[in-house]
């Protein structure tokens, strides 16, 4: 039985990195007129209230989006993401944090299509309510997102982006992510695939990024640590986004943003960032 609820973690440092990368990729997709598909395999509830009981219990948003909300010195690549968050809050005080489905819908165009998968019954109901007026271009399904990849790839337009964002609460998520990418790229070799990765003190969490980097094709991995490495039982020290077939603009945009973002979100002196990419032979750019 699924128990993970993202409402406890919405707006934390991992969400910021994940949604920044998603926003940058969607903006690049919009550079061509041909329509595209976005598939979100683990969509969650779609929108979160940060003054909810769940969010207040952990308070993770305070050291995440709470640190960015009133900043006026944003790097240029951060601005569209923050403007979207302001739109979600109607330009008022920070109360709502949009998940990846809301952000995708915000940046996508009328001719593009959005497929949202969520298995958790409570979050599925909230997700369906959030997009009940989405029309034919948005489909919300209580389905296994990994299996949905097999059903919808490749999209008819041969343009698309897949966001794979499991909780990794279930140990089998790790091998399923790798298997889904292997199968997905066979079905849709030109698609852009985004995978969120937590930095946790477990063997599976440490091994998955290296396995992903061995996949064929162009890739980029961006990492953000907000504090020193966690020990067992002490949660995430940071997270990463792995991107297969990344937009050519993504590398520089992240290099222009991560030094500032790391400084703002740092929780101790061990905070750091890193960008790896296949075109540089895996050589990092970091600080």
Rounded to whole angstroms, what are the CA distances from 38 to 89, 119, 200, 214?
Answer: 24, 18, 28, 25
Strand pairing of 192-199 and 238-244? antiparallel
Do the beta carbons of residue 271 and residue 262 sit within 8 Å?
yes
Tokens read off for 218: 């162009």
How far apart are the C-alpha atoms of 3 and 112, rounded to whole Å? 32
Helices (H) and strands (E) in the chain, counts: 10, 11
Do the beta carbons of residue 212 and residue 267 sit within 8 Å?
no
DSSP reduced 3-state for 241: strand
Residue with tokens 């019954």: 121
Residue with tokens 């949660």: 235
Sign of CA dihedral 260, 265, 268, 270: negative
Q: Provide CB contacts within 8 A for 257, sequence distance 6+.
A: 20, 75, 77, 78
Give CA angle at 210 (204, 211), nearest 5°.
75
Sign of CA dihedral 9, 56, 224, 70: positive
How far apart are the C-alpha atoms of 265 and 89, rounded to whole Å? 22
Strand pairing of 160-164 and 192-199? parallel
Residues assigned a catalytic role: 165
Do the beta carbons of residue 227 and residue 201 sit within 8 Å?
no
């Amino acid at each position: 039985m699924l128990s993970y609820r993202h409402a406890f973690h919405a707006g934390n440092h991992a969400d910021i990195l994940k949604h920044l990368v998603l926003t940058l990729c969607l903006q690049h997709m919009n550079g061509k007129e041909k329509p595209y598909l976005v598939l979100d395999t683990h969509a969650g509830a779609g929108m979160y209230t940060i003054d909810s009981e769940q969010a207040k219990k952990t308070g993770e948003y305070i050291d995440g989006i709470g640190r960015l909300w009133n900043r006026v010195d944003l790097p240029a690549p951060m601005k569209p993401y923050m403007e979207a968050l302001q739109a979600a809050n109607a330009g008022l005080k920070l109360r709502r944090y949009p998940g990846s489905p809301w952000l995708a819908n915000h940046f996508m165009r009328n001719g593009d299509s959005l497929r949202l998968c969520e298995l958790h019954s409570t979050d599925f109901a909230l997700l369906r309510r959030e997009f009940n007026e989405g029309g034919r271009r948005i489909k919300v399904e209580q389905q296994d997102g990994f299996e949905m990849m097999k059903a919808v790839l490749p999209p008819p337009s041969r343009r698309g982006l897949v966001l794979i964002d499991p909780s990794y609460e279930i140990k089998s998520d790790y091998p399923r992510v790798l298997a889904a990418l292997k199968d997905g790229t066979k079905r849709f070799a030109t698609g852009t695939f985004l995978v969120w990765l937590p930095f946790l003190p477990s063997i599976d969490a440490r091994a998955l990024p290296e396995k992903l980097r061995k996949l064929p094709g162009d890739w980029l991995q961006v990492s953000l640590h907000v504090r020193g490495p966690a020990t067992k039982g002490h949660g995430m020290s940071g997270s990463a986004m792995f991107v297969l077939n990344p937009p050519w603009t993504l590398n520089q945009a992240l290099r222009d943003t991560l030094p500032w973002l790391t400084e703002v979100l740092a929780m101790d002196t061990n905070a750091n960032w890193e960008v790896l990419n296949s075109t540089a032979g895996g050589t990092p750019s970091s600080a």
